Amino acid sequence: MSQTITTGVKSLVEAAEKEIENLAVEQAIALYGRDDVVLVDIRDIRELQRDGRVPGAFHCPRGMLEFWIDPQSPYHKEAFAQDKKYVFFCAGGMRSALAAQTAQMMGLKPVAHIRGGFGAWKKAGGPVEAVEPKHK
């Protein structure tokens, strides 16, 4: 028996974007470096190593988001316990919309996401640095 998917990712992202703040890349770049803003990169580490990263952005792989936000989780990260604005981004802006929606539903606020993600950030001339692979 095959599955019948009734809600696709495009619909999920569109619904998320109706509930969260959506930043144009120019708005996000203007927030860069502010003490009251945490840029949260939810891309996979391989994406960072391949494409670079935003200097100073907090890296939180999408799969760990809920666990790192929840202060009751043994995986909680203090980066999510600050009184700051959290701006999520991924490669193209879809995963970050879902991540920002989830974070907001969990009670993290204020949150936003960057439309177009890291790709738009790079294209607009936002700061980027290379990531060196960790060698054991």
- Residue 36 Cα to chain centre, angstroms: 16
Q: What is the pLDDT of residue 136?
A: 60
Judge contact between 117 and 92, C-beta under 8 A: yes
How far, in Å, CA of 111 to CA of 84, rounded?
9
What DSSP assignment string belongs to 75-89?
T--GGGGSSSEEEEE
Q: What is the pLDDT of residue 95?
A: 98
Fold for the domain defined by 20-123: Oxidized Rhodanese; domain 1 (3.40.250)
Q: Where are the domains of the chain?
A: 20-123
Q: Which amino acid is at 63?
A: G
Alpha helices in the chain (DSSP H): 9-19, 25-31, 45-51, 65-69, 94-106, 117-123
Q: What is the pLDDT of residue 135?
A: 67
Name residues of the chain where pLDDT drops below 50.
none
Paired residues of 114 in beta bridges: 23
Q: What is the pLDDT of residue 36?
A: 98
Q: What is the pLDDT of residue 132?
A: 82
How far, in Å, CA of 41 to CA of 44, rounded?
9
Place of tokens 């700051």: 84
Q: What is the pLDDT of residue 133?
A: 75
How far, in Å, CA of 52 to CA of 122, rounded?
9
DSSP code of residue 91: S
